[in-house]
Structure 1
Amino acid sequence: MVMIGIISEPLLYLCFSLLIGSFILKLVPSAYRPDISVPKSVLMLATAGIGIFSFIPVLQVILYLYQDFGFEQTLKSVLFTFEVGKAWIFTYLLSNLLFIYIVWFDYRKNPLYAYIGIVITFILILALGWSSHASSIEQWKGFVVHTIHFLAVTTWVGILFVISWASKSHLNWMKFLRWFTPVALICFFITVISGLFLMTVVIDYKDYANSWILPYGQALLIKHLLIIPLLAYVFINSILIRKKIKNNDNFNPRPWAKAESFIVFLIFSATAALGQQEPPHDIETTIASTGSSKLFDLLYQGNITRDLVIVLGFEFNSVMLAMLALCFLGITILSYIKRAPILLGFTMSVLCVVAFYLSLMVSIQ
């Protein structure tokens, strides 16, 4: 069931992103973006996906409790008394409404239809925020911050996904970058700030390194490390690419935008893995109840105890791995400059994350 959650959650993020990105780009005048074509069938699948994938957390709760109370009684209890169940019922009904709306009204023909689509999708995001872990702990504060965080991510990533995968050509790309770059930067900073708050709901900053002992901490670390190559692609797609387009009208920037979207999807997957682990509100207690991460066990050579405190000491091996990671990061950018295959740059960015990760693990005293 954990694996199903890891698969379904990034797909849920992708469904929201496709809807938000499609509706927003339709509101942008055609002179300020490439021509895009997102079939209604894709948006219908994305809407159906929201109704289906958002049920997985509800199903996990049901399967966890049903042996004590029976499946039928547990199903009723979870759906009508748990916040996650009530939020899903609302999400399911509203996603059905949005599905019918997309079938009846073609958002591509009238900007008003796109506005209405954005409003309905935003209400779905509110429902997701209400059922979030942050909301269950910090109530209104957690709900507001999670909603802002998710909205910023889906706005930025949605536009990126749609423009890179659904654009018919790269015409007007420079005009597109002029408004999308500041939008993406604003969304990125909002994501970082709200993400830091959401992290403190689960663990204290001073316990960040100690959380690496647990599966939750490992997933959180990998997610944070993936931001490094993401920033490299942001640098390529927002700054370096401008010069290429100015000097060569035939240069196609879409493959590099697609590569950035792959990195984003990896971050979605790491976030999904994060959501399937027990949050370490108290690290010592969590270690005692669930044990340490298998990945941490594999790499850590010392004895793992409940009161283990992680101290980083960068020595020769860890420094060399960090330098290797920086080399991989440099090759990622250089592969763009030298017009190397996209796969090479993407592979180097993944190796950059692996090397940085090993550098940190090796440096643990």
Structure 2
Amino acid sequence: MFSIAIFSEPFLYLCFSILIGSFLMQLIPSSHRPDFSVQKGVLMSAIAGIVIFSFFPVLQTILYLYEDIGFLSTLQSVLLGFTIGKAWIVTYLVSNVLFIYIIWFDYRKRHLNSLVGLILTFILILLLGWSSHAASIDDWKGFLIHSAHFTAISVWVGILIVVSWFSTNYSNWLKFLKWFTPLAAACFMVTIVTGLLLMNVVIDYSDYTNSWILPYGQSLLIKHLLIIPLISYAFINSVLIRRSILKDPTFNPIPWTKAENLVIFLIFSATAVLGQQEPPHEIEITIASSGISSLFDLFYSGNITKESIILLGFNLNAVILCILGVLFLILSVMTYIKRAPAFIGFMMNILSVISYYLALMISIQ
């Protein structure tokens, strides 16, 4: 069940992004975006995916509790008595309304149809925020922060997914970049700010390095390191691609936006793993209950106790790895400049993340 839950969450994010991106892009004048085609069947599959993938946390709760009172009684109790269950029931009902709406009304024919679809999808995002871990800890504050965080991600990533995988051409790309670049930058800033606030709900900032001892902290670190190649792709897909199209109007930018999508999916996957770990509200207690991370144990040979404090002391090997990380990052940009395949640039970015990760791990004292 653990592995299924990890599998389901990235695809839940993907389903939301496809819906948000499709409805938003349809509201943009055709002269300011490339032509695209997201069929009704894709949107209907995304809605079905939201219902299915959002049920996995509910099922996980049921399987954790059912041995005491039986499966059916636990199912009824979780669906009707737990916030996560009640939120899923409303999610199921709203998803059915949106599913039927997509069948009856073609979002591609009228802007109003897209707007209604967008509103219904936003309601589903609010329901996800209602059942989130942050909301269970800090009620309204957690609900609002999680909803803002997820909305910003869905808008940014959704548009990127639509232009990357559903565009029928790459015309009007400069006009598209003119409005999408500032929008993506704003969404990125909201994501960073709300992400830091969400992290503080679970863990104190001063305990960030100490959390690396735990599986939760390791997942959080990897997620944060993956932001580095994301920034690299943001630079390529905004500044450099703009210059390339000005020099050559026939230049195809889509392979590079697809590579950015792959990095985002890795971040989604890291977030999914993060959601399945025990949150370290009290690191000492969490170490005692769930043990240390196997990844951390691989690099650290000292003894770990409840009172252990993680300090960083960079040595020669760590400095060399940091330099390698920078070089791989530069090479990822050079692969674009030299018109090498986008996959090579993607691998350079991944090697950069691995280098930074290893540098941090071998610096632990």
TM-score, L = length of structure 2: 0.99
Structure 2 CA distance for aligned equivalents of residues 36 and 136 of structure 1: 39
Within-5 A mapping of 1:183-198: 183-198=183-198
Structure 1 CA distance for aligned equivalents of residues 174 and 39 of structure 2: 25
Equivalent residue, structure 2, for 1:176: 176
Equivalent residue, structure 1, for 2:282: 282
Structure 2 CA distance for aligned equivalents of residues 21 and 111 of structure 1: 14
| Residues 101-144 of structure 1, C-alpha deviations (whole Å, 9 max, x = no match) | 11111100111100000000000000000000000000001001
Structure 1 CA distance for aligned equivalents of residues 306 and 238 of structure 2: 46
Question: Kindly, what percent of the aligned residue pairs are identical?
Answer: 64
| Residues 282-329 of structure 1, C-alpha deviations (whole Å, 9 max, x = no match) | 001000000001111111121121111000000101110111111111
The aligned length equals 365
Equivalent residue, structure 2, for 1:213: 213
Within-5 A mapping of 1:1-365: 1-365=1-365
Structure 1 CA distance for aligned equivalents of residues 349 and 92 of structure 2: 38
CA RMSD of aligned residues (A): 0.5
Report the secondary structure of 1:139's partner residue: helix
Q: Which amino acid aligns with 1:360?
A: L
Structure 1 CA distance for aligned equivalents of residues 193 and 264 of structure 2: 18
Q: Which amino acid aligns with 1:161?
A: I
Q: Which amino acid aligns with 1:300?
A: Y
| Residues 211-253 of structure 1, C-alpha deviations (whole Å, 9 max, x = no match) | 0000000000000000000000000001111110000011100
Give the drift of 1:59.
0.3
Structure 1 CA distance for aligned equivalents of residues 165 and 303 of structure 2: 48
Gaps of 5+ in 1: none
Give the drift of 1:183.
0.3
Gaps of 5+ in 2: none
Structure 1 CA distance for aligned equivalents of residues 253 and 97 of structure 2: 37
| Residues 65-118 of structure 1, C-alpha deviations (whole Å, 9 max, x = no match) | 001111111100000000000000000111111111111111001111000000
Q: Which amino acid aligns with 1:249?
A: P
Q: Which amino acid aligns with 2:287?
A: I
Structure 2 CA distance for aligned equivalents of residues 264 and 33 of structure 1: 22
Structure 1 CA distance for aligned equivalents of residues 4 and 253 of structure 2: 34
Structure 2 CA distance for aligned equivalents of residues 140 and 298 of structure 1: 40
Structure 2 CA distance for aligned equivalents of residues 306 and 251 of structure 1: 57
Structure 2 CA distance for aligned equivalents of residues 306 and 224 of structure 1: 25
Structure 1 CA distance for aligned equivalents of residues 201 and 42 of structure 2: 35
Structure 2 CA distance for aligned equivalents of residues 171 and 288 of structure 1: 58
Report the secondary structure of 1:353's partner residue: helix
Q: Which amino acid aligns with 1:64?
A: Y
Report the secondary structure of 2:107's partner residue: coil
Structure 1 CA distance for aligned equivalents of residues 87 and 81 of structure 2: 10
Give the drift of 1:270.
0.3
Q: Which amino acid aligns with 1:78?
A: V
TM-score, L = length of structure 1: 0.99
Give the drift of 1:342.
0.9
Give the drift of 1:343.
1.0
| Residues 18-45 of structure 1, C-alpha deviations (whole Å, 9 max, x = no match) | 0000000000000000000101100000
